[in-house]
Structure 1
Amino acid sequence: MQPNKPELRRQAAAARETLARAAGDIGARLVTSFASAILIKPCGTIAGYHPFRDEADPLPLLRFLAAAGWECALPVPVDPPDGLVFRAWRPGGALVTGRFGILQPPETNQALRPDIVLVPLLAYDGAGRRLGYGAGYYDRALANLRRAGPVLAVGIAYAGQRVAAVPTQAHDEPLDMVVTEEGAMDFRKAVS
């Protein structure tokens, strides 16, 4: 029997903590995996996140993309129905402590519409389903972005965060890809 979402979250958080300690700094490997899987020219806007707890760290990837000419943004939680707004940020730029103690750009930074959203997660499966923390911020933000036009949702994870199946509900937004220190999985190819 498959565990329910709260139990799976507990198990996945414990597993991710162990993976983070064992993997060390995976930043350079994430850059390699991302660059080999995603066309990085022409440049666009990419929304990352500032790592919280033991999330896979996308900051080296954001530094790489910013140096290549990409415009970067980080998420700022907002009340429903939006979930998140993505505010402009350059690596090394000012950050403030936001909701949940997560570092984010100041409210004065311009809101941007990303072409690619890097998504943190607790677990993912081979169909592109993502297990988050349960508040639905990324699901609402991705749904809003997708209603307005194309956006690529890319989970950033340790390879060991993959599970057999993530239970989903109607509001859960799928990932298009997952990038790990071992490579990338493109879920769009599975459905086309």
Structure 2
Amino acid sequence: MKKKIRDKFLKLREKKYFDLDKKNQSFFSNQITKICKNHKVKKIGFYYPINYEVDIVSIVSKIKIKNLKPFLPVVEKNNKMSFREWKTLEPFYVNRFGILEPNKKNKKTKPQLILTPLVAFDQNKNRLGYGRGFYDRFLNQVSKQKNIISIGIAFSFQEAKKIPSQKHDKKLDYILTEKKLIS
């Protein structure tokens, strides 16, 4: 069932993908800024976009919050994921999945807010990813240690009626599209 939904929405995203205009970028950055300020976030984790995902890098780089530090995911051994500090002018490295990452020697942290990519979502804040479980494992692991806010980032056309969920799937705190914030 998940594979069928994943395939449908990956094709749809490729077909309907669009670059965000200034208005859409502002909506994303304003919503993220509000959440960061309300929760006193100083460490934000996000992703480097692939496969027609929302270009969150350009959005995060526009957020102006004093002392806000950006972190990007790094795939570690045993299919675990960590977040490493991202330095704007530093070169990226390509991981085994062809995704750009910061240097594995950079400072490792657990961000207070994590912007997660997704293939599809529903009104209940269920997220369908690529099927490897990196974000579910990471969010399940860190949510036991401390309160971390998770926001799924998507285009509005990625909304499904219902995403089937299993025990290991981690529901998100928010879903943010270019049109609305689901909380």
TM-score when normalising by structure 2? 0.90
1:87–1:8 CA distance, 2 compared to 1 (3 A) = same
Unaligned segments of structure 2, at least 5 residues = none
Query: Residue in 1 aligned with 2:57?
Result: 59
SS at match of 1:118: strand
Distance in structure 1 (CA, Å) of the matches to 2:46 and 2:89:
14
1:146–1:108 CA distance, 2 compared to 1 (3 A) = same
1:109–1:56 CA distance, 2 compared to 1 (3 A) = same
Asked if 2 retains the 8 angstrom alpha-carbon contact of 1:83 and 1:141, the reply is yes
SS at match of 2:7: helix
Distance in structure 1 (CA, Å) of the matches to 2:88 and 2:156:
25
1:167 correspondence with 2:137: no
* 1:17 Cα deviation from its structure 2 partner: 1.4
Residue identity in the other structure for 2:37: I
CA-to-aligned-CA distance 1:39-94 (integer Å, 9 cap, x gap): 426341010010012011111232133654311100011244x7310000133332
Asked if 1 retains the 8 angstrom alpha-carbon contact of 2:46 and 2:72, the reply is yes
1:69 correspondence with 2:67: yes
Alignment of 1:24-43 (within 5 A): 24-25=20-21, 26-36=24-34, 38-40=35-37, 42-43=40-41
Percent identical: 29
Distance in structure 1 (CA, Å) of the matches to 2:134 and 2:127:
13
SS at match of 2:73: strand
Query: Residue in 1 aligned with 2:16?
Result: 19
SS at match of 1:170: coil
Asked if 2 retains the 8 angstrom alpha-carbon contact of 1:43 and 1:70, the reply is yes
Query: How many aligned positions are there?
Result: 180
CA-to-aligned-CA distance 1:103-156 (integer Å, 9 cap, x gap): 000111111110001100000000010000000000000011101110001001
1:152–1:116 CA distance, 2 compared to 1 (3 A) = same
Query: Residue in 2 aligned with 1:85?
Result: 82
Query: Residue in 1 aligned with 2:176?
Result: 179
Match of 2:46 among 48, 60, 73: 48
Distance in structure 1 (CA, Å) of the matches to 2:87 and 2:26:
19
Asked if 2 retains the 8 angstrom alpha-carbon contact of 1:52 and 1:102, the reply is yes
Residue identity in the other structure for 2:178: E
Asked if 2 retains the 8 angstrom alpha-carbon contact of 1:33 and 1:180, the reply is no
1:110 correspondence with 2:107: yes
RMSD of aligned C-alpha atoms? 1.8
SS at match of 1:59: helix
Residue identity in the other structure for 1:92: L
Distance in structure 1 (CA, Å) of the matches to 2:154 and 2:66:
23
* 1:95 Cα deviation from its structure 2 partner: 1.1
TM-score when normalising by structure 1? 0.86
Distance in structure 1 (CA, Å) of the matches to 2:130 and 2:64:
28
Distance in structure 2 (CA, Å) of the matches to 1:30 and 1:92:
23
* 1:7 Cα deviation from its structure 2 partner: 0.7
1:6 correspondence with 2:19: no
